[in-house]
Amino acid sequence: MTYEWCSIICKNYSTLRGAKDLLLLCLKIGFHHIDPKRRQIEANLIHTERHQNLVNIVFSSGDGEAIADLLSAWLSISSSHTQYPQPEVYAEHLINLHLYPFSSRLRSHIIATIGFLGYQQFEHIGVEGFIRLLNDLQACAEDLDNRYRWARLLLDVVKSSEGIQYLSHSNWELLVNLTTHWSICLKDSTYNPHTMVFLQDAKEWDKLACWISVVWMIWPPENGGATEEDLVNVMLSLFHQQPGALQKVEEQVEQWGDKWPWNRIPESFRQVCNQVHSEAAQQTIL
């Protein structure tokens, strides 16, 4: 087991500086051909200072392939344990990876690791750094092994003050895409009216259109989420600023309704859309 080789190396060197090249070589030899989708590695990782030093050495090297090897091994090992080996250490290093260029392999492992860790691991380390990383990754649904985890992660991000301001529009669209498929599993998430109010006040119309779609899929008025009055007012504002954006909301919600047989487009959605179009038409005439 490569981790055991590295532990022996660390144990037998008086300083880790002298062991750095050998450690990286062991990682490349041992982990380079691991398939992260076949997570069947058995290992007993003890949370020791040695493990943390090993992680520090690899990430500080700036060697993208060695970092990808380590993430691949960590994902493979963590999937067979109820407690992941030192997730906070990996999260702390990951938020600094936006400083490095990503190979396709490293990018893939970073995306998988983020989904495995979840938002809470990054919340206490640095949300702004995490959001920079998310924006640089430009992940799409096809990149994700666990789309449900990512849906929850992005919901948590956009509810944060940093996320609502700095998360890229492509990530808001990714949230809509994931919600279309996983809304039934997200209904226990808490509705936050501040998100819609902030986006409207900030005139973030494209992001607001994405959020309105998410609200209708997860927290329609029938489920005790947003009120019809709030949605009418916000959708009217959106219509006046970007009529095409309102059309996009309708298309996204209709697509969600057609996707799965248990999705039922709320009757209030059609009523609100009709009301918005009617009021907009009357104002156009006047």
Q: What is the pLDDT of residues 225-250, one digit of tens each?
A: 788 888 888 988 888 888 888 889 99
Q: Is the pLDDT of residue 179 over 90?
A: yes
Q: Rounded to two decimals, what is the model's pTM?
A: 0.83
Per-residue confidence (pLDDT) for residue 89, from 0 to 100: 84
**Do the Cβ atoms of 52 and 89 come closer than 8 Å?**
yes
CB < 8 Å & 24+ apart, contacts of 91-97: 91/117, 91/121, 91/122, 91/125, 92/125, 93/55, 93/56, 93/59, 94/122, 94/130, 94/133, 95/122, 95/125, 95/126, 95/129, 95/130, 95/132, 95/133, 96/59, 96/129, 97/59, 97/67, 97/133
CA 236 to chain centre: 30
- Give residue 24's pLDDT band: very low, low, confident or very high (50, 70, 90): confident
